[in-house]
Structure 1
């Protein structure tokens, strides 16, 4: 078809008809929903619109002058082709077909927008000139790499002037030629993706390539390389001088800081009663100065490398990447911070709320511990253990609420690390959990409290501290024993202090007396020894039990009351002393387990020998009343 004659032959008419059919499809796609609302099939609606378009073309043809007749037949033929394209089943229409059960299935339509194809950058010396698209058989990356190689070959060939690059227009493309060599082709699809005419796009790309080739050759000219080398030498000298000056400056800064702040640091240490050490403050100051020195050195080195590498075209891409290596992480962190800023604000507010909630809970349980708040059936000793449980539950609830807002919580790495830590905690915390549960169990079982004297297996002492995991006991030998709560939970616990104040603690001791001594005399002597022992209670009164009638002696048990379990050792010592004195005083022999027969003289200590030296200087406890 010629630009002026309007003739149309063979495939040209078909191509024109296809283009007009596509135009008609776009026109009718805006009204296809109105056509389907009438209840008629969509294909009928498209047929009606196509026939109307054909009638319109026929009417316009009859109004034209006779010399345009061949062109009119061409338009009529193109309209028929467009109508045929409309009637092709499934070509572009979307029909709904009834399926079994009353459901419908949709057939996709070509009216939908075409997918966005990827584009690749055409570069020279690491600088992006423009971008091109590709197709499945010729991807954009491959096309861009080919064009970049051609442009670089053109730039390297100084026998071809830069302005020798020309744009040669063809019917469906624009060719960029450097002499007889093809640089690239610009197709209609390239212009369509850019949204501008193909000729304008070709001119823009032509100017870009010409300027890039000129700059490529200029950067590699001998004069420019010599000048840039001089700049590089000057930059090297300046960077070296800066490093030397920087080193001396920081040495003076350290000496100045030592002179000016030494006395102040020592004064701070004295005012804090040595809680803050001067050596720590001095080390912190030196660390800050060293950090500033490292940052300054890195800044000088980075600026030097960026400048020198940027002077030469071969290393210029590395200089740009070096700049990007520093800025990209900062940009990424800044973008991530701005993206997560609302979540961080939420977490901060949640922490503030939880903190004040915990303070209110602490005040409540402190009131219970101090008896200013009373709760029926709730002991004061339960206040702080219960507070710890409630605090743990509140913190766990806060973690559950905050978890989705923690930056990176949805990443696979975060989930993997959390799972790994959970497995490790589960494998290594069996005894930890057991001791923790045992600690709370001991508290709510009221087995003991701080200050009680208890016995766990063969461990005997006073409770000095109760922790979640262990209990601290102090023995009568002033030894501190740390007992795991799980051991206490699985053992028998004897508490000597629980009933000592209300009913009294019973201390008991046994003696073996021969059958020749009246039990009434023995009973009286044991009661006399109890009356002589200071610190014991007179009410309830002491009592004597005859435990057994042995082969050689009768076993008597003296039971006395006291209200001070911590004095058990002293009470037993004084009681035993008074028993010995009373039996010696009345001439009654205390039998030994290895008794074989009565001796010639009774085994007693006469009264006149009670204070034989050096006993005279230290009277027994029973005489300190």
Structure 2
């Protein structure tokens, strides 16, 4: 047995233990203290975001993201204390991040748009909005898309990037919306008379707001009729109910007062049935 070799190995092992043991103990302390500190910071962040009225959808995501980043920083410090060379790891992570970013370019755009929507709050859940020609009530605002319920009871899943790149009309922001109703009257009829009939008819329609008052005017002239516009104001939730009831009330009023119209089949004046 070569005792010199054994002594050499024991000395080498002792040197390694003396060299690494303090570092391992320090790494354990950093791990324990660091993760406890991260947990406290995440809890403080959640409370702070809640007090400032930050989006309920975004709060858990931000808290978990910040927690993951801070925990990653703690692990990085531990690896540095232990003497690990992280240069190669960083190169691999950078290449992987670039590849993932290119593959998920559209999703990342929706993600960034979702962060903007949840932070700036151009609308909230329950608001009636219109994005391009898509109209409905917002039911959910997600990180990647926004769900909108149409009056026809269909769910539209709109990518958030489409929302931030388009003109968004928020009908709920002001607490009211103006209906755009169009009716016609014959040229021989008196506009002041028809205007009074329309005003009276609208007063009997439930949910039409008294202020601002409904607007009634001549919109255009065609070959057969005078085109009128009727613009009452309603709350967004009553949009379709008032639209249908207002058309019904106007038709009944025209029938009661014998207001005639030109049918599309010709230029002859005909009566309106009940």
Which blocks of at least 5 consecutive residues in structure 1 are unaligned? 1-128, 132-192, 195-335, 370-380, 611-625
Q: Deviations over 1:438-460 (max 9, x none)?
A: 12222344421111011112221
Query: Residues 429 and 405 of structure 1: is their aligned pair in 2 closer, same or farther, counting only changes over 3 Å?
Result: farther
**2:14 corresponds to which residue?**
none
Q: 1:523-547 CA distances to partner (integer Å, 9 max, x unpaired)?
A: 1121122111111112222220111
Match of 2:157 in 1: 482
Q: Per-residue displacement from partner, 1:487-524 (whole Å, max 9, x unpaired)?
A: 11111211110112xxx321120112110111112111
Query: Match of 2:34?
Result: 350
5 Å matches for 1:410-449? 410=85, 414-415=89-90, 417-449=92-124
In structure 2, the residue matched to 1:511 is 183
For 2:139 and 2:161, locate their aligned partners in 1 and report how far apart those are by CA, in whole Å: 18
- Find out whether 1:450 has 2:125 as its counterpart: yes
Q: Which has the higher relative contact order, 1 or 2, with Cα contacts under 8 A spaced 6 or more apart? A: 2
| Number of the residue aligned with 1:569 | 240
In the alignment, structure 2 segments of 5+ residues that lack a partner are 6-19
Deviates more, 1:428-437 or 1:579-588: 428-437
Decide whether aligned partners of structure 1 residues 348 and 474 sit closer, same or farther in structure 2, where only a CA change above 3 A counts: farther
What CA deviation, in whole Å up to 9, does each residue of 1:233-255 have, x standing for no partner? xxxxxxxxxxxxxxxxxxxxxxx
Question: Contact 1:439 / 1:467 at 8 angstroms: preserved in 2?
Answer: yes
Contact 2:39 2:67 in 1 (8 A): no
Give the SS at the match of 1:572.
helix
Residue matched to 2:13: none
Structure 1 residue aligned with 2:146: 471
Match of 1:577, SS? helix
Deviations 1:348-399 (A, max 9, x none): 3211111111112212222333xxxxxxxxxxx5576478557645643442
For 1:393 and 1:405, the matched residues in 2 are separated by 18
Give secondary structure in 2 for the equivalent of 1:468: coil
1:404 Cα deviation (Å)? 3.5
Return the alpha-carbon distance in structure 2 between the equivalents of residues 539 and 584 of structure 1: 27
Instruction: Check the 8 A contact 1:511/1:590 in 2, yes or no.
Output: no
SS class of match (1:486): helix
**Quick check: which one's helix share is greater?**
1
Q: Give matches, 1:240-319, under 5 Å.
A: none
Q: What SS does the aligned partner of 1:460 have?
A: strand
The residue number in structure 2 matching 1:596 is: 266
* Greater strand share, structure number: 2
Provide TM-score, normalisation by structure 1: 0.38
Instruction: Give the whole-Å Cα distance in 1 for the aligned partners of 2:106 and 2:137.
Output: 25
Q: Does 1:547 align with 2:231?
A: no
Call closer, same or farther: CA 1:396–1:518 in 2, change over 3 Å.
Answer: same
1:588 offset after TM fit, Å? 1.1
The residue aligned with 1:528 is: 200
8 Å CA contact 2:101–2:108 kept in 1: the answer is: no
Question: Within 5 Å, which residues of 2 pair with 1:317-328?
Answer: none
Q: For the structure 1 residues 432 and 408, does the alpha-carbon distance in structure 2 shift closer, same or farther, using more than 3 Å as the test?
A: farther
In structure 2, the partner of 1:613 is none
CA 1:445–1:353 in 2, change beyond 3 Å: closer, same or farther? closer
CA contact (8 A) 1:474 1:480 kept: yes
In the alignment of these two chains, the number of paired residues is 258
Q: Which residue of 2 aligns with 1:367?
A: 51
